[in-house]
Structure 1
Amino acid sequence: MKVSMQTGLLCVLAAPIQAITLLQVLQSYSELSSLSGYVNASANATALLANANNFTFFAASNAAIAKFATQNSNALAEDVLEATLQYALVKGGYPSLSFSDTPQFAASNLVNGTYANVTGGQAMELVLGSSGSLEVISGNKTISTAPATDIVCGGGIVHIIDTVPSIPISIVAEITAANLQYFVSILNAGGFLNTANTYVNQVLEIPDVTYFIPNSAGALSNASALVKNSSAADLQAMFEYHVVPGLVAYSTSLANGTTFKTAQGDNVTVTVQDGETYINAAKVIDSDLLVANGVVHVIDSLLNRFDTSPPPAATSAIASSTSTPATAASATSTHAPVSNATSHKSNSTTIGVAVGVSIGGSLLVAAIAFFLFRRSRKLKKQRASSARDSHSTSSIGEKGRNIYVQHEVEVQRGSNWNTNRNDGSPDGSPTSTSPLRVQTMGINQFQSMHVEDIGGPEYIAPNERFQAPQDSFNLQRSKPNEKLETERGSP
């Protein structure tokens, strides 16, 4: 018994492991039964999915198929079904973790010229939605979300989606579907709908085209004014300046500083500023409208080939330029012409950080300087106090205070105080009147001279007269309005 169990186990391990196929996935999931039925009924559809390799397939759920059939009367026609499956079968692997906030434009297997005119296959946009779910954005901005993801099978990955992807339509049909009313009026005002203008049909039918379509009241007003004074050649140049042939430039290709050559022959320049994208000075207000032969970006103003200047400097840069000269220089360099610019995103941040660091550093230096200044003054006062104490003898008053007093009298000419000093003229009269600084000395110093003439060491009466030694002065002020008299003291 043990031998037979071991033999069976070895046989199972030795048997080759076969991966489930894409067709088997459709048959295995009940929510894909409608899709599986339509595929099995079409030989072309069956062959397409059976031979697929290195793919990501966005399989429409039963509810998605029912809604699609209701909205499209010919949805179940053979060619429509096949084209829809080709569009849902994307080249390359896109597991759920490869989706992010930055869109990806994945080429599909839809190369049928009846439905697509994009080299390499019509694309669909893959992005992570705001809710964190996987989103597939197809023609006319149709959004499909994926409730079930990362079903692995032989050759690729399957995501189950809730809406059938919409095959992009022609540029003419998209103008109506996207409700671009102002642009329709511009086409009418410029005579671009006239069948005699063959250049219009030429840019509508060629493959791989990027269209910049102005759609605003301002653009219509500008176009209407230009039409009045423009020749037929001018109008053709104006129309062709909004078309870039030979290139499908999705939003991911609109990098700052990029230039594109238009059908008219001149270039347009891309500027990315404060998170917004501009073509010359025209702002992109809606991007990535997928059409049969390329992509449409809607702009807010008419492009002028004679004025290719970038948009005005950002408001934040203007505010910074008024704060400090250094910031102004940074703002100027940030918003230089686009052809010399390399990156916009980090300059505003850098300016703000630089200004903040400069202000913080200045405040710190000022605080340190103020602290050192206060400390220096305090030390000077302490040294001055120590010097006075060491050169004078203190005397204690009646309340125990040091009554050492220093007076400075600055006598100015013509003031109420007058100092007359006898400089030794023959008649003994004063010969000059000059400012005098008088400092009373410590009480004990006077005591060592003529203490009996001063009146005691404890107190000097303010109105008393004292006798100083030779070369000293007698000071007296008897009344507030009298001048200070100095007389040479007798020996």
Structure 2
Amino acid sequence: MCHSWGSIAAAAISFALSCANAQDVPNLGDVLANQTDLSTFYGLIQKYPQVLLQLPSYQGVTVLAPSNDAFSKIPYSSLNGAFQNNDDDVIIDVLEYHILQGTRLAAQLVPGTPEFLPTLLKDPFYTNVTGGQVVENVKQAGDVVVFVSGQGSRSTLTTADLKFDGGVVQIIDTLLIPPTNLTDTTNAFNLTAFEGALYAAGIIDIALYTPNVTIFVSWNEGFQALGPAITGMTSQELAQVLKYTILPQVVYSPGLTNDTKFLALNGENITIMHNGNNLYVNSAQLLTPDILIANGVIHVIDNVLNPQGPNAQPNPRIGTQAPVFASASMVTNLPFTNSLPCTVSCPVTTTSSATSSTGSSSATGDSTTTSASVFSSSSRAQAAVARETGFGAAGLVAALGGALLLV
């Protein structure tokens, strides 16, 4: 095979891609050029050839190539501002997120078993997880293959396993959304009571910037079910409760096996239990698994975990589990939302407003997250300075020891 790795920089700049292997397997450029439905994606790869400098020489890659129709959906997505304003940094990050490490053939997927595949996206704004940000891949009934990305965005495979000499191209019908930070994600999923509690407890930075975390987030109803049992806590007591919901490791749903114990940030264990098709974290039922965030993953549960009740058992005969806090009392108002920083229609004061210093777009319950604030170079730069995770400044990562020849 002809692998001119030493001349990759010149090849990338000129977009020459003239090398084919001995078995006449087409190169990447030929595959993209010959698919009329990929003309927009192919044009972006030509415009940003530096993306291909990230392609590793080991075990090949999988290019998740959005169709032309996928790009027509951008105005209705959180990526609209970046593409509308030709934000090169964000567009490059998005393209890198569409390239998986290793060759992944759809024909080899096991139905019903989600996999979490590392990508070439390593910009610290989107990636505070070891090994590169991931995308979820699952094969559903009827041989439907789905990729799930940030904020729960779903992309369906439309054309599978187009092989080229360095891997395989998979055509998808919707762009992947790079995972956003915790506060942007909790806003998107209306998990504002948990977010507000993090601010009230003074540990928002721990949740935002600790690398490689799993967070069990109760939906809003779980906080309402507690009422004064949790709102009456001191900030220190509340911090201990919330740290009990955070694991210092990334555990996706396949790793939540029956009878497994995990050590939380507060030093106490949580226990995973299965009953039929239901999964419980202590006594709280899992509602929505595997919501990707910049520094790990969120699993939504129906109750707030209590470090004082680690042995609480679920009742599988009921749909929503009872609170495990003494003196719990249902309230109609949503706890802790008054602790959220104001970002919309804020009162004018003589001091700086109480906004997040991280570039987060968290807001009060009636405000919305704008795509420009989530995906912009300026907010990325602010977040990179504030994050201090050891990943260094935002920007392209160095080439990973080689690359694929361009066509």
Aligned equivalent of 1:102, options 110, 113, 131: 113
Spell out, residue by residue over 1:403-440, the C-alpha distance to the aligned partner (whole angstroms, 9 max, x if none): xxxxxxxxxxxxxxxxxxxxxxxxxxxxxxxxxxxxxx
Show the counterpart of 1:232.
235
Identity of paired residues, percent?
29
**Contact (CA 8 Å) 1:40, 1:46: kept in 2 or not?**
no
Alignment of 1:229-378 (within 5 A): 230-245=233-248, 247-312=249-314, 314-315=316-317
**Contact (CA 8 Å) 1:137, 1:165: kept in 2 or not?**
yes
Q: 1:187 to 1:157 in 2, by over 3 A?
A: closer
- Residue 291 of structure 1: how far off its partner (Å): 0.5
Q: 1:155 to 1:165 in 2, by over 3 A?
A: same
Q: 1:273 to 1:216 in 2, by over 3 A?
A: farther
Report the TM-score when normalising by structure 2. Answer: 0.67
Q: In terms of mean alpha carbon deviation, does 307-316 or 119-128 score higher? A: 307-316
Q: One-letter code of the match for 1:105? A: F
Q: 1:151 to 1:170 in 2, by over 3 A?
A: same
Spell out, residue by residue over 1:435-467, the C-alpha distance to the aligned partner (whole angstroms, 9 max, x if none): xxxxxxxxxxxxxxxxxxxxxxxxxxxxxxxxx
**Contact (CA 8 Å) 1:276, 1:283: kept in 2 or not?**
yes
1:60 correspondence with 2:66: yes
Distance in 2 (CA, whole Å) between partners of 1:289 and 1:140 is 7
- Residue 143 of structure 1: how far off its partner (Å): 1.0
Alignment of 1:79-94 (within 5 A): 79-94=89-104
**Contact (CA 8 Å) 2:202, 2:239: kept in 1 or not?**
no
1:185 correspondence with 2:193: yes
Aligned equivalent of 2:177, options 166, 177, 197: 166
Q: 1:311 to 1:66 in 2, by over 3 A?
A: same
Show the counterpart of 1:140.
151
SS at match of 1:222: coil
| Structure 2 unmatched runs, 5+ | 1-20, 319-407
| Structure 1 unmatched runs, 5+ | 1-14, 317-491
SS at match of 2:73: helix
Q: CA RMSD in A?
A: 2.3
Aligned residues: 293
Distance in 2 (CA, whole Å) between partners of 1:59 and 1:261 is 39
Alignment of 1:368-447 (within 5 A): none
Larger Cα-atom Rg: 1
Spell out, residue by residue over 1:70-109, the C-alpha distance to the aligned partner (whole angstroms, 9 max, x if none): 6412124221221112111111222112222111111111
**Contact (CA 8 Å) 1:23, 1:49: kept in 2 or not?**
no
Show the counterpart of 2:396.
none
Q: 1:238 to 1:97 in 2, by over 3 A?
A: same
- Residue 20 of structure 1: how far off its partner (Å): 1.4
Distance in 2 (CA, whole Å) between partners of 1:221 and 1:313 is 17
Distance in 1 (CA, whole Å) between partners of 2:258 and 2:30 is 47
Q: 1:179 to 1:52 in 2, by over 3 A?
A: farther
Structure with more contact order per residue of length (Cα contacts < 8 Å, sep ≥ 6): 2
Q: One-letter code of the match for 2:175? A: V
Q: 1:79 to 1:25 in 2, by over 3 A?
A: same
